[in-house]
Amino acid sequence: MTSEQKDNLFVLVKSLTKSEKRQFRLYVGRMGSNEDSKFLNLFQSLDKMNRYDEKVILKKGIVTKQQLSNLKAHLYKQILISLRMNPAHKNIRIQIREQLDFATILYQKGLYKQSLKVLEKAKILALKNEEKYSAYDIVELEKVIESQYITRSLSNRTETLIFEADQLRVQNNLATQLSNLSLQLYERLIKAGYAKSDEEFREITKFFYENLPKLDNDALGFREKLWYFKAHVWYSFLTQDFLSTYRYASKWIEMFEESPGMIAIHPVFYLKGNNYLMESLTLIKYPSKFKEILQQMMLRTSAEEFPKNDNLKSLVFQFYYSNKLNLHFLEGSFGEGVVIVPEIIRGITEYSNQIDPHHIMLFYYKIACVYFGADDYENCIVYLDKIISNKSLKMREDLLCFSRVLNIFAHYEAGFDYHLETHLKETYKFLIKMNDLHEVQKAMIRFVRGLGDIYPHDLKRAFEDLYQELKQYENDPYERRSFLYLDILSWLESKINNVSIGYIIKNKAVYLNRKERPSISPLSADLP
For residues 493, 496, 502, 503, the Cα torsion angle rounded to the nearest 10 degrees is: -100
What does the pLDDT average to over 25-43? 73
User: Which among 297, 288, 300 has a CA at the least distance from the CA of 321?
Assistant: 297
State pLDDT tens for residues 249-278: 999 999 999 988 889 888 999 999 999 999
pLDDT > 70? residue 285: yes
Residue among 129, 118, 127 nearest 91 (CA): 129
Percent of the chain at pLDDT > 90 equals 33
Under the banding of pLDDT at 50, 70 and 90, the label for residue 1 is very low
Q: Are residues 80 and 40 in the same domain?
A: yes
Note whether residue 64 is domain-resident: yes
Q: Is the pLDDT of residue 245 over 90?
A: yes
Structural domain ending residue among the three candidates 66, 89, 112: 89
Is residue 34 domain-shared with residue 107, that is, in the same domain?
A: no
DSSP code for 212: S
Q: For position 517, what pLDDT does the model report?
A: 52
Q: Is residue 14 part of a domain?
A: yes
Q: What is the pLDDT of residues 411-442, one digit of tens each?
A: 888 887 777 777 777 877 777 776 666 788 77
Q: Is residue 114 part of a domain?
A: yes
CB burial of 424-438 (b: ≥16 within 10 Å; e: otherwise) equals beebbebbeeeebbb
Regarding whether 40 and 81 lie in a shared domain, the answer is yes
Expressed as residue numbers, the domain containing 100 is 92-153
The per-residue pLDDT for 5 is 43
Same domain membership, residue 85 and residue 13: yes
pLDDT for 521:
47
Q: How many domains does the chain have?
A: 2
82 and 102, same structural domain? Answer: no
Whether 291 is in a domain gets the answer no
> Per the domain annotation, does 124 fall within a domain?
yes
What are the CA-CA distances from residue 240 to residues 200, 468, 476, 479 (Å)? 12, 23, 11, 11
Instruction: Determine the average pLDDT of the residues in 449-478.
Output: 81
* Residue 520 predicted with pLDDT over 70: no
Say if residue 394's pLDDT is above 70.
Answer: no
Is the same domain home to 108 and 122?
yes
Which one of 40, 55, 89 terminates a domain?
A: 89
Residue 182 lies in a domain: no
- Burial of residue 365 (CB within 10 Å: 0-12, 13-18, 19+) is buried
* Range of 36-40, 408-412, 431-435 with top mean pLDDT: 408-412
Whether residues 40 and 73 fall in one domain: yes
Instruction: Determine the Cα–Cα distance for residues 215 and 170; give it in Å rounded to an integer.
Output: 11
Q: What is the pLDDT of residue 151?
A: 59
- Measured between its terminal Cα atoms, the distance across the chain in Å is 51
So what's the pLDDT on residue 525?
Answer: 42
Lowest-confidence range among 3-12, 105-114, 404-413? Answer: 3-12
Query: What confidence score (pLDDT) does residue 138 get?
Result: 93
Q: Are residues 8 and 82 in the same domain?
A: yes
Q: What is the mean pLDDT of residues 91-110?
A: 90
Model pLDDT for residues 449-461, shown as the tens digit of each residue: 777 677 777 888 8
Q: Is residue 163 a part of any domain in this protein? A: no
> DSSP per residue over 11-32, as a string?
HHHHH--HHHHHHHHHHHHHTT
Is the pLDDT confidence value at 518 over 70? no
pLDDT band at 239 (very low <50, low <70, confident <90, very high): very high
Burial of 266 (0-12, 13-18, 19+ CB in 10 A): buried
3-state DSSP call for residue 94? helix
The reply to whether 431 falls in a domain is: no
Q: What is the pTM (predicted TM-score) of this model? A: 0.80
**Are residues 85 and 8 located together in one domain of the fold?**
yes
Task: Write out pLDDT tens, residues 331-340.
Answer: 888 999 999 9
Among candidate residues 361, 427, 367, the one with its CA nearest the CA of residue 395: 361
User: Last residue of a domain, which of 134, 153, 172?
Assistant: 153
Q: Is 332 exposed, middle or buried (0-12, 13-18, 19+ CB in 10 A)?
A: buried
pLDDT at 396: 65
Q: Minimum mean pLDDT among 77-81, 105-109, 443-447: which range?
A: 443-447
Buried b (16+ CB within 10 A) or exposed e, 114-147: ebbebbeebbebbbebbbbbbbbbbbebbbebbe
For 176-206, the pLDDT digits (tens) are: 999 999 999 988 888 777 888 889 899 999 9
Cβ burial of 20 (10 Å; 0-12, 13-18, 19+) is middle
- Cβ-count burial of 344 within 10 angstroms (0-12 exposed, 13-18 middle, 19+ buried)? buried
Q: How far, in Å, CA of 380 to CA of 370, rounded?
A: 8
pLDDT of residue 383: 95
pLDDT band at 41 (very low <50, low <70, confident <90, very high): confident
Does the pLDDT of residue 164 top 70, yes or no? Answer: yes
Nearest to 363 by CA among 194, 371, 278: 371
Same domain, 96 and 76: no
pLDDT value for 150:
63
User: Do 84 and 115 belong to one domain?
Assistant: no
> How far lies 232's CA from each of 174, 186, 480, in Å?
15, 11, 21
Claim to verify: residue 102 and residue 138 sit in the same structural domain: yes
